[in-house]
Every structure is written in structure tokens, then in C-alpha cells.
Amino acid sequence: MPFKPIALPILGHHKRQGEAESTVIKLPQVTIIVLNWNGLNDTLDCLKSLGQLDYQNYEVVVVDNGSVDGSVSVIRERFPAVTIIENGENLGYAGGNNVGLRYAMAQGVDYALLLNNDTVVDPAFLRILVGAAEADPAVGIAGPTIYYHERSNVIWSAGGAIDWRQGSTRMVGLDEPDEGQFGQVPRTVDFITGCAMLVRRAVLEQAGLLDERFFAYYE
């Protein structure tokens, strides 16, 4: 079946500088993949924010692309519950994340979330993303509105747009103050940035993994 990407008006900060139901409901399983390459401090901040998520069925996997800054040992010490996969070399964005995606697929997860290590997320981030995807089976990929880390009301991305005539892309809402211009409901967009991208398992099964001919960007 065809899938669509959607962008949601929920929080994420990018360092580019109800009462409980009595019935137990099984939440979809999510693997969160954080790619690290010599970015220890950013990765630690990211992992700390992930530890505050209010979603209950997820695993965090750090894929290390051959870091030489001591990242692996520090992450293992401070976040013992995090799964670490060591590549031994820098495989780039596509290659490194594909290692994590293969791991996630082998675990039988329902969704994989690619998340840049230079992000911190809102506690409701994952719950809202998964909820939007579960509400519409046609949604293949979902992403949040992303804000600058130091300018928390200024948008970095509210989804992506493609100019097919010029062969160019842009981030919707880039550098705009958030004044509610993108509403409060999910929107269909041309693409979701790999900075924070929730992917349905069926999409990975049908479309395959990231294109490793692209070391970084446009994967």
C-alpha cells in the first residue's frame, strides 16, 4: 500500500545552533536509533531527554560510528540500559543508521525512530508521534516540529518541501517564530527530515533501508 509522510506540531529542540484506562493496551514497540560520531556531550544530553519520555514501550540504541572521544565507555557507564552497537568506522549517516535499522527489524519492532544525537525531546514526543501514526494506517513516516535549541520558539523544520521543477528542497517554516501558523493537527508533507523520523516497519520492508551511496544528506 502507498504511504505518506506527516509532520506534527509537537516539540523537539535541535542544537543547530486522562486517567489510565482499566484495560491494558499493548503499545507498539519502538526502537530509537541515535547515531554518534565523536559527539559525546550532545549524545549524553539526548539520552537524558529520552529517559524522560512518557511512552512505555521503547528501546534506545546508540550506533557508534568509530568515535575516538571515549563516547562508548562513557555512554555505557552512564546509561547502562542503552544498547550500544559499535561499527568501528565512520559509515556515515545512511550506513550507520542502517546498522541500527537492521537491529530494529531483527527485534520485530513496529516502528523505528531515527533521531540525531544533537537533539533533546519533549517527554510527550514519542507518544504523540506513535499515536498519530497508529490513527492513520496510510502514514508511513511521521516527524515533529523541530525548534532551535537556543531559540526554543523558532522553527528549524515543520516538515520538508520539494520544488520538483528546480530539483531543490527546503525546510518548511525555517527560521520562523512559531505563531501557530502550522496548526495543531498532523499535515501531509513532501518529506520528513532524518533529524527525527518515525518509520513504520512496513515501510522498511517494502522500500528498504537508506541508500548508502549517500554518505550524508538526501539518503
SS3 of the chain: CCCEEEEECCCEEECCCCCCCCCCCCCCCEEEEEEECCCHHHHHHHHHHHCCCCCCCEEEEEEECCCCCCHHHHHHHHCCCCEEEECCCCCHHHHHHHHHHHHHHHCCCCEEEEEECCEEECCCHHHHHHHHHHHCCCEEEEEECEEECCCCCEEEECCEEEECCCCEEEECCCCCECCCCCCCCCEECCECCCCEEEEEHHHHHHHCCCCCCCCCCCC
Mean of per-residue pLDDT scores for the chain? 91
Q: Tens digits of per-residue pLDDT, 13-35?
A: 444 444 444 455 789 999 999 99
Domain annotation for the chain: domains and CATH numbers: 4-17+28-202 (3.90.550.10)
List pLDDT tens digits, range 164-197.
Answer: 999 999 999 999 999 999 988 899 999 999 999 9
Say what the pLDDT of residue 214 is.
86
